[in-house]
Amino acid sequence: MSSSSMSSDGGPTVAVKLFIDKAKRRVLFAESDKEFVDVLFSFLTLPLGTIVRLFDKQSHVGCLDKLYKSVECLGEGHFQAKPCKAMLLAPVNAAAAYCHRLQVKVDDSNPVYHCKNAECHDPWYSSASYAVCRCRNVVDDSKFIITDDLQVSLASTRVMFSLMDQFGIPGNGNIEEKVLQLNSAMMTRLLRRAMLTKQPLTGLYFNVAIAPNGTYLCKLPENLLAEQAAEATDPNFKAIKARLVQTKDNSSVLYAEVGQDFVDLAFGLLCIPVGTIMKTFSHLPQKGCMGNLYRSVAGSVKEECQGVLLTPKVAPFFGCSSNVLQVEELAGRRIFARRYLEMNPRSHDDTGVRGYIKGTPINFMVTNDLQIMPLSLTNTIQLLHASNIPKNKLVEKELTLNKTQVLKIVRAAFETREALSSTLLP
């Protein structure tokens, strides 16, 4: 099996050998070299906003599409600085050093903008281009076994004999081996299936339709964040005030009136890597199999290289003012023979500026599916009209959200299109 090749359009590819049950029309498992597994693991480094952009705002992952569109629609005057909007719509991958060396790149759009003034005494650049990493993250010269739900393991006699017993190999005459050469477009399609389905390899090979509303959950489990409950009293977390407009019977939320702090938190999610979500919420998501991929890192990647996948960082200056997920920010640096100093795009003179939204008295309204817009009479009337809920059936409630409640909303944003109802209603 050739580990890499060129596709018909001239782009590079990575090879994967599928073991297919022809009678049941399903991929049983796959075998590959490290090049394919490297690209799979790179999925964990992608910022959530990048995933939405790659799928043209139709990722169907929880509330992320609505959140992304809210950034697009919000006027630039609401942002801390002009670059803030572009930062959220095209977040930089902090693991670019890891991704730049991949045979096939799912996303390769990290531009560098630098000062053109030759007399500048302290020239700057933004949206860092990182030096190519020379480390080989995945264990070298090994074969890997990948299940249909993307559990990755090093090939071993124990693993291979287990699969043979499970699927009746070699006695099962329906088993067919097929080598695929996957280019960037096909790996991107595999990414989408990995986010939304439990059988991404079968779906990719047989072009199975992805079920609609693949991440829709009306109610999330009561033990949603048991592991985070003890963190509700985190002294570094500032409680977030909100006014909830909901039905009197607790059946649904129309919207919440919130301030700049909530909007900063919500928009900041677009810059968070997938791996951070997997680390914070160990049993997430209900749909898809990115969790399997995350849990496979420890047994497939050299220990000194695991951090970029298991504890991914955000790019320099892309951190959020409310770091509820406690994600570390990559330090700024100098590039091009140390001539150019990286600057904070949100501030020309204060690298401590962290927020995306201006700290003004203006309030915002956030809908059940995390669509965010300025609070106004026009927007309120439009929401009432669209919901078909009579005003006399609505009630307002004052809320003060602690860290556990905010974490529940963050998780719900990734899993359901009723993020507020599923977390704030009794």
**Model pLDDT for residues 239-271, shown as the tens digit of each residue:** 999 999 999 999 999 999 999 999 999 999 999
Asked which of 17-31, 96-110, 220-234, 357-371 is least confident by mean pLDDT, the reply is 220-234
Q: Structure pTM? A: 0.88
Distance CA 7, CA 15 (A): 11
Give 392: exposed, middle or buried? Use CB within 10 Å, 0-12, 13-18, 19+.
exposed
Residue 231 has pLDDT above 50, yes or no: no
Residue labelled with tokens 């100098």 = 334
pLDDT category of residue 282 using cuts at 50, 70 and 90: confident
Q: Are 69 and 57 in contact (CB under 8 A)?
A: yes
What are 322-328's contacts with CB under 8 Å, separation 24+?
A: 322/237, 322/238, 322/240, 322/261, 322/264, 322/265, 322/268, 322/406, 324/237, 324/265, 324/403, 324/406, 324/407, 324/410, 325/272, 325/276, 325/277, 325/280, 325/407, 325/410, 327/272, 327/273, 327/276
Q: 164-218: per-residue pLDDT in tens?
A: 898 888 888 889 999 999 999 999 999 999 999 999 999 999 999 998 754 443 3
Q: Is the peptide bond before 285 cis (omega within 30 degrees of 0)?
A: yes
pLDDT band at 2 (very low <50, low <70, confident <90, very high): low
pLDDT band for position 139 (cuts 50, 70, 90): low
The answer on pLDDT for 72 being more than 80 is: yes
Residue 223 has pLDDT above 90, yes or no: no
User: pLDDT tens-digit profile of 115-132?
Assistant: 555 555 555 555 533 333
- Do residues 200 and 182 make contact, with C-beta atoms less than 8 angstroms apart? no
Q: What is the mean pLDDT of residues 378-389?
A: 94
3-state secondary structure (DSSP) of residue 213:
coil
**Where do the structural domains in the chain lie, given as residue ranges?**
4-424
State the chain's mean pLDDT as an integer.
85
C-alpha separations of 417 from 139, 253, 327 in Å: 39, 12, 24
User: Cα 379 from chain centroid?
Assistant: 29
Per-residue exposure over 10-24, b if at least 16 CB sit within 10 Å of its own CB, e if not: eebbbbbbbbbbeee
Pair 265, 240: CB distance under 8 Å = yes
pLDDT at 366 over 90: yes
Q: What is the pLDDT at residue 99?
A: 84
Judge whether 332 and 324 are in contact, CB under 8 Å.
no
What's the one-letter identity of residue 417?
Answer: R
- Using a pLDDT cut of 90, give the percent of the chain over it: 62
- The residue among 104, 72, 10, 26 whose CA lies nearest residue 267 is 72
DSSP H helices, 90-156, are: 96-99
Give the pairing of strands 124-126 and 340-342.
parallel
Omega of the bond prior to 170 within 30 degrees of 0, cis?
Answer: yes
Selection from 149, 173, 146 nearest residue 24 by Cα: 173
The residue with greater pLDDT, 55 or 131, is 55
What local confidence, expressed as pLDDT, does residue 137 receive? Answer: 56
Given a cut of 80, is residue 14 above it in pLDDT?
yes
What does the pLDDT average to over 214-227? 42
Q: Which distant-in-sequence residues (6+ apart) come within 8 Å of 297 by Cβ?
A: 41, 44, 306, 309, 310
CA 100 vs CA 93, 172, 263, 328, 363: distances in Å: 11, 41, 32, 21, 41
pLDDT at 110 (0 to 100): 60
CA distance 213 to 378: 29
